[in-house]
C-alpha cells in the first residue's frame, strides 16, 4: 500500500469524511482519522486494519491497553487514544440506556458519593423523552454545606438541550430531613427553571441508607 500522502485526496479518510459524510467511511478509515498517523513501515490505514483485527477477535469491550501495546510499533500515546475512545463510547451508551424512573433510581445511581464525608451536589439532565442525557457533579462542599448557584446547574442544561433536570445531594450526617437551606435552594432552582423553560422534576436528599424525595415528600431509609 502506498504512503497515505501519496493516495489521491478523494481516498484520504478526512477528505472522504468531509465530502461524503461518516456513513461512507469504512471502520478502519474511521479509526485512521482517530490515530492521525501511522508508524514505521505501516501507514495509518494499514495500522488501523491491524488494530481492528484485534478489536474484532477479542471483542471491543475486552480490549485492553496492554493488548494494544503488543502491536508492533504502536506506542502508549496511540494505545491510550484507542482505549479512551472505547471507554467513552461505553459510558455514553450506558448513560443513554440508563432508566431513571423514580427517586430510588436516583439513589442507586449515586452510589459513588452516598457515604462521602463531603456534600456532593449533582444534577441529572433529561431530554424531551425523559431519557437521561448526562449526570454532572456541580459542586463538592464541606462536611456541612455545599454552595450552589442556579447558574451552575442550568448552564449544562442549556448546553445539553435538556428539557428537565433532577438535582440530588448527600447529607454526610445521615439525616435525611431536608434543611431550610435545601428547601430554599429547591425553590430558587424551580423559579430559575421556569424562566428557562427547564423543569426541575425533583430534589432528592440521599445518604448511604436511604433518600428523601422532595417531589413525593417521603423519606425512605
CA–CA gap between residue 41 and residue 39 (Å, rounded):
6
Q: How far apart are the first and last CA of the chain?
A: 65
**Confidence (pTM):** 0.58
Question: How far is the CA of 101 from the CAs of 107, 108, 119, 134, 162, in angstroms?
Answer: 11, 11, 24, 15, 17
217 or 157, greater pLDDT: 157
**Which pLDDT value is given to residue 98?**
62
| Residue 84 scores a pLDDT above 90 | no
Q: Which of 52, 133, 127, 135 is nearest to 93 (CA)?
A: 133
Contact 30, 13 (CB under 8 A): yes
**Which pLDDT value is given to residue 158?**
95
Per residue in 41-61, pLDDT tens? 778 888 888 888 877 777 777
**Where is average pLDDT lowest: 58-72, 126-140, 172-186?**
58-72
Confidence class for position 18, pLDDT limits 50, 70, 90: confident
The residue assigned the cell 458519593 is 113
| Residue 119 scores a pLDDT above 50 | yes
3-state secondary structure of 17: helix
User: Mean per-residue pLDDT for 118-135?
Assistant: 91
| Residue 3 scores a pLDDT above 60 | no
Helices (H), 23-64: 27-35, 44-58
| Residue 80 scores a pLDDT above 80 | yes
Quick one: DSSP state of residue 179?
P
User: Mean per-residue pLDDT for 17-23?
Assistant: 78
| Residue 35 scores a pLDDT above 70 | yes
CA–CA gap between residue 96 and residue 75 (Å, rounded):
32
Contact 35, 50 (CB under 8 A): no
Amino acid at each position: 500500500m502506498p504512503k497515505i500522502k501519496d493516495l489521491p485526496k478523494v481516498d484520504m479518510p478526512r477528505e472522504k469524511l468531509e465530502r461524503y459524510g461518516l456513513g461512507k467511511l469504512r471502520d478502519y478509515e474511521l479509526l485512521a482519522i482517530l490515530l492521525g498517523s501511522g508508524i514505521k513501515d505501516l501507514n495509518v490505514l494499514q495500522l488501523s486494519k491491524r488494530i481492528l483485527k484485534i478489536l474484532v477477535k477479542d471483542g471491543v469491550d475486552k480490549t485492553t491497553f496492554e493488548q494494544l501495546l503488543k502491536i508492533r510499533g504502536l506506542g502508549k500515546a496511540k494505545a491510550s487514544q484507542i482505549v479512551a475512545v472505547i471507554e467513552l463510547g461505553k459510558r455514553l451508551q450506558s448513560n443513554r440506556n440508563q432508566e431513571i424512573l423514580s427517586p430510588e433510581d436516583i439513589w442507586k445511581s449515586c452510589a459513588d458519593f452516598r457515604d462521602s464525608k463531603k456534600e456532593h451536589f449533582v444534577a441529572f439532565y433529561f431530554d424531551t423523552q425523559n431519557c437521561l442525557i448526562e449526570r454532572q457533579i456541580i459542586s463538592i462542599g464541606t462536611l456541612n454545606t455545599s454552595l450552589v448557584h442556579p447558574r451552575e446547574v442550568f448552564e449544562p442544561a442549556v448546553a445539553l438541550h435538556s428539557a428537565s433536570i433532577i438535582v440530588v445531594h448527600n447529607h454526610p450526617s445521615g439525616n435525611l430531613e431536608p434543611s431550610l437551606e435545601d428547601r430554599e435552594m429547591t425553590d430558587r432552582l424551580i423559579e430559575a427553571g421556569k424562566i428557562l423553560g427547564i423543569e426541575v422534576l425533583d430534589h432528592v436528599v440521599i445518604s448511604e441508607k436511604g433518600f428523601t424525595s422532595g417531589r413525593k415528600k417521603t423519606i425512605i431509609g
